[in-house]
Amino acid sequence: MAGAPVGGDRPKRGKGGGLRRPKRRISILIDMTPMVDIAFLLLIFYMVTTVFSMPQAMEINLPPKTEEDEILKIKESNVLILHVDEKDRYYWNVGRDLPIPMRSDSLRTLLVDENKANAKLNTLLIIHEDARYESLVNVLDEIDLIERSFNANTAREFEVELRDFLDPRHDRAAEFKAKKFSYRYAMAPWEDRDSRMIERVLSLEGGE
């Protein structure tokens, strides 16, 4: 038992105190054990119930290993190219067209419109190594959001929940597969020709 005595010291009798007898103080012992128990119980409670910040992860679908060495031939007219330079500026073009500067907040509209216009569209992401990582995350987030939105609308047409529509073990999985939308995109390293192309675009636009 942990405790501390309080009081109990007999006061000294001062001069001129007379014959009056001073009152004797009662000794009190305060037990600190319950307070310590409660403190530890609260500490354990908050440690167990507190939700810590979980590490953020991004899911990226990679092709099977058997297909890594295969080369897919795609028409240039079916390739949408997105450039992000070292200053996090966005550009887009189709095939061999000259890139067009664009605002980052119009990225979703562009991707949706181009995919609706061309069902065989493939997107190629070319991001400068000095660009912020946030730029890559923003593009991938938009792609994931568009894919989920397309599939959610299709799921409503089938009158099923989105999780059932995406479930490969569902009874109607074979029927859903034909209507399921999977955004096709790839990434390529930034090369010198990309820098020259962007410099040309900026010179035509009167930029840096």
Q: How many residues does the chain have?
A: 208
* CATH number of the domain enclosing 121: 3.30.420.270
For 126, the enclosing helix (H) or strand (E) is strand 122-127
Q: Does residue 125 lie in a domain region?
A: yes
Is 136 part of a structural domain of the chain? yes
In whole angstroms, what separates CA 3 from the centre of its chain? 52
Are 121 and 78 a contacting pair, CB within 8 Å?
yes
Number of domains in the chain: 1
User: How far is residue 188 from each of residues 124, 130, 179, measured CA to CA in Å?
Assistant: 7, 15, 29
Tens place of pLDDT per residue across the chain (208 aa): 555 555 555 555 555 555 566 667 777 777 888 888 899 899 998 888 877 666 666 566 665 665 555 667 788 899 999 999 999 999 999 988 999 999 989 999 999 999 989 988 999 999 999 999 999 999 999 999 999 999 999 999 889 998 889 888 888 888 888 888 889 899 999 999 999 999 999 998 765 5
Across the strands, what pairs with 125? 82, 187
Is residue 40 a contact partner of residue 69, using CB atoms and an 8 Å limit?
no
- DSSP for residue 77: G
In a domain, 114, yes or no: yes
Q: For the whole model, what pTM was predicted?
A: 0.64
Amino acid identity at 53: S
